Amino acid sequence: METKNTQSGKVAQSVMIALIIILVVVIAVFVYVWMDRSKMINELTTDKQSLALNLERLKAEYSELQSTNDTINLRLIEEREKIDVLIERLKTTEATNRAKIRQYEQELGLLRDIMRSYVRQIDSLNILNQALRAETIMARNEAAESGKKIETLVKQTDDLTQKVEKGSVVRVRDIKVVAVTTKSKETNSAKSTAKIKTCFTLIENSIAERGFRNVYVRIKGPDKILLAQGQNFFTVDDEQLIYSDMREVDYQGEDLEVCVFYGSDKEKFIKGVYTVDVYCGGALAGSGQLLLK
């Protein structure tokens, strides 16, 4: 009887040991599975956090991209909006949803590739714009340089024209003003004077215009009043002047002696100094004086 009890006790003890061993194994397996799951959850949480951080960085990088091309700028705005949508979707996704996390990672990679494409396009446009700006600056400089050359040429032409114009003016010399009687004899008596005779020589000028031209005489009496027979005008420096008398001459670029007579039977001369100005080619050519007693 004691032997049977002893055997029964041993069996019960063996069963107990076996159960304990099984329990330990089960606990060990449970602990392992729990730790493995915790590790996996931690890793997935880290991946989700890393993905969120990378999305924020990519959004910032998109925000820094600027282009002179309006179409590219609109597309950049669209890509930033896609990133915002992806960030919001990631926030509502559990870290344990590995499939979604991997999907978002793939979308992140695609958005990054698209950004690289835009970076290349913007760089190409910047290089092109720099080249165009350089060409524009060069063209402006060339235009400015050409403008300066043209201004210089115009000034030189104007200067040369002025020199030619000045050089082509016919001047006079040996102006002699005398009073003559009705018998064409010279006199210095105001009472005997019938006309005032102004003689001079048009000087030789090889570049002056040849042909007929008018020579004008303006005579002012001692009272500074212009002597004139009627309102006869000629032009000097765009100004209309009255002349006392004039004569048309045929000038051929060589010395030409000319005399102009002013006066009439009714003209009365007073005592004093008379001033005579000679005009030729629209310019004052010389002056002389006459004293009548």
Mean pLDDT along residues 143-172: 66
* Weakest mean pLDDT among 92-96, 101-105, 110-114: 92-96
Give the DSSP per-residue string, 108-155. HHHHHHHHHHHHHHHHHHHHHHHHHHHHHHHHHHHHHHHHHHHHHHHH
Q: Is residue 164 part of a domain?
A: no
Q: Region 74-87: what's the mean pLDDT? A: 78
The residue among 249, 231, 255 whose CA lies nearest residue 241 is: 231
Q: Does residue 129 sit within a domain? A: no
Kindly calculate the radius of gyration of the chain based on its CA atoms and give it in whole angstroms.
58
Do residues 19 and 77 both lie within one domain? yes
Domain boundary among 105, 122, 139: 122
Higher pLDDT, 173 or 147: 173
Is residue 160 domain-resident? no
| Residue 195: pLDDT over 50 | yes
DSSP labels for 261-272? Answer: EE--TT----SE
Per-residue tokens: 71: 């179409």
- Claim to verify: residue 115 and residue 9 sit in the same structural domain: yes
Per-residue pLDDT, 109: 77
Q: Is the pLDDT higher at 256 or at 1?
A: 256
Q: Is residue 142 part of a domain?
A: no
Q: What phi and psi, each to the nearest 5 degrees, are found at residue 113?
A: -65, -40
> What is the pLDDT averaged over residues 23-36?
60
In a domain, 183, yes or no: yes
Which residues touch 112 (CB under 8 Å, ≥6 apart)?
58
Q: Where is the domain boundary, 86, 101, 122?
A: 122
Query: Do 286 and 181 share a domain, yes or no?
Result: yes
The answer as to whether 31 is a domain residue is: yes
Cα–Cα distance measured from residue 256 to residue 174, given in angstroms and rounded to the nearest whole number: 11
Same domain, 108 and 193: no
pLDDT of amino acid 30: 59
Mark whether 182 and 278 lie in a shared domain.
yes
Residue 281 and residue 218 share a domain: yes
Closest by Cα among 200, 169, 193 to 277:
200
Higher pLDDT, 154 or 232: 232
Give me the mean pLDDT over the 210-239 stretch.
89
Shared domain check, 191 and 107? no
Instruction: Look at residue 58 in the predicted model and tell me its pLDDT.
Output: 74
Domain count, the chain: 2
pLDDT surpasses 70 at 154: no
Residue after which a domain boundary falls, among 107, 122, 137: 122
pLDDT at residue 243 tops 90: yes
Domain span at residue 239?
172-292
pLDDT band at 163 (very low <50, low <70, confident <90, very high): very low
Which of the pair, 61 or 213, is modelled with greater confidence?
213
Task: Indicate whether 131 belongs to any domain.
Answer: no
pLDDT of amino acid 106:
82
One domain, residues 280 and 185:
yes
What integer pLDDT is reported at residue 166 of this predicted model?
52
Does 213 reside within a domain?
Answer: yes
User: Can you give the CATH number for the domain in which 189 is found?
Assistant: 2.60.40.10
Average pLDDT for the chain: 78
Token pair recorded at residue 7: 């055997």
Whether 10 and 96 map to the same domain: the answer is: yes
**Please, where are the H alpha helices in the chain?**
2-64, 70-91, 98-168
How many residues are recorded in the chain?
Answer: 293
